[in-house]
Amino acid sequence: AGLGEPTTLVPLSDSNTRTRAISTKILEGLVRFDSEFKPHPVLAESWETSADGLRYTFKLRKGV
């Protein structure tokens, strides 16, 4: 059995579980989070948080 048709391919605009399950198979994010919500690099090689905690600066890995 498949997941069916997603309502969109933009996961941030839809909270549908089906949409999220499909989009995670075809889209990569800057980071991924493990079971303890610790971020790990994916498209981002590294990142910094501003002193006030309001801005994140990501360094993308080569070729992205």
pTM of model > 0.85: no
Residue 1 CB-density burial (10 A; 0-12 exposed, 13-18 middle, 19+ buried) = exposed
Residue 20 has φ and ψ, to the nearest 5°, of -65, -40
- Render pLDDT for 8-64 as a digit per residue (tens, 0 to 9): 767 666 666 777 777 777 888 899 999 999 999 999 999 999 999 999 999 999 998
